[in-house]
Amino acid sequence: MLIECERHTGKDLSLFYEMFEADKINFNLLKVMNKERKAIEIIKEFYNQHNGKIYCAVSWGKDSVVTADLCIKTKLNIPLIWIKVKPIFNPYCELVRDLFLLNDIQYKEYEIKCLIDNNNNVHAKGTLEKGFNKAVDEFGENYITGIRSEESAIRTLRSKVYGTTSIKTCAPINYWKYEDIFAYLAYYNLPIHPNYAMLGDGRYNRKNIRVASLGGKRGRERGRYEWEKEYYSDYIRLWEE
């Protein structure tokens, strides 16, 4: 279920829905249901390992929505936690959150404010860590994450060392490909962040689109900086001028 917004072009939406129909077919072609069952078992094992003292960290991007849905399917009442970094969080994350939370689940949101200096520069370093420290105080240090090994060299290395589960973290979709993720979202009609249809009329690959804090130096690879300038110039202008 794509959340449409005023930033999409007509071509963007046409391209997205064309891929969306293929995604639904891919659910069976890629045997995503088998991966789904395996991921649910991984989560259950992690839950039992820590006597239920775990939580699931979400960002409201595609991977975390899938992971959160898998947690719900365990029927173990695993809390969902979002670290909301103000003021640079993506504004449409709240729309994904609101649709997803129509489910009856335990949820906690921690708002962490960036430091803004006298020149209106935003300093976000350490904000996520502060948020997770709050989560640790309330829910413990063991958590489930939606990271996948194909997303970066660092995550591939983590995968080689730990696989899906380390002592404190569980990555149940670690070995899923992005095609699996979109197939799962489409098949179960889960809320999809508007970013994934901001395709530059076909110039941007949805595989490389992220749902993260806007602006700043972090994550400018794979054309993200140019993509943000095109779709969110009104937001990042506030912090870069």
Q: For residue range 124-177, what is the model confidence (pLDDT) as tens digits? A: 677 777 888 888 889 999 999 999 988 754 655 555 556 678 889 999 999 999
Q: Which residues contact 127 (CB under 8 A, 6 or more apart)?
A: 83, 85, 112, 113, 114
Decide: helix, strand or coil at residue 60. Answer: coil
Task: Please count the other Cβ atoms lying within 10 Å of the Cβ belonging to residue 39.
Answer: 28
Half-sphere exposure of 150 (CA within 13 A, CB side): 11
Task: Yes or no: say if 36 and 67 are a contact pair by the CB < 8 Å rule.
Answer: no
Q: What is the pLDDT of residue 135?
A: 87
More confident residue, 240 or 75: 75
Q: Domain containing 179 — which CATH number?
A: 3.40.50.620
Per cent of the chain over pLDDT 70 is 86
Under the phi-then-psi rule, with left for phi > 0, alpha for psi from -120 to 50, and beta for the rest, what region is 200? left
Residue ranges making up the domain that contains 141: 28-191
pTM of the model: 0.90
Average pLDDT rounded to a whole number, residues 107-124 = 75
Task: Yes or no: say if 35 and 176 are a contact pair by the CB < 8 Å rule.
Answer: yes
More confident residue, 86 or 32: 32
54-81: string of b/e by CB count within 10 Å (b at 16+)? bbbbbbbbbbbbbbbbbbbebeeebbbb
Tell me the CA distances in angstroms from 59 to 12, 19, 85, 240, one per residue in order.
23, 23, 10, 24
Q: What is the pLDDT of residue 11?
A: 98
pLDDT range class, residue 71, cuts 50, 70, 90: very high
Inside any domain, residue 162: yes
Q: What is the pLDDT of residue 181?
A: 98
In total, how many domains does the chain have? 1
Q: What is the pLDDT of residue 154?
A: 60
Inside any domain, residue 13: no
Inside any domain, residue 34: yes
Amino acid (1-letter code) at residue 62? K
H or E element: which one contains 134? helix 127-139
Inside any domain, residue 139: yes
Give the total residue count for the chain: 241
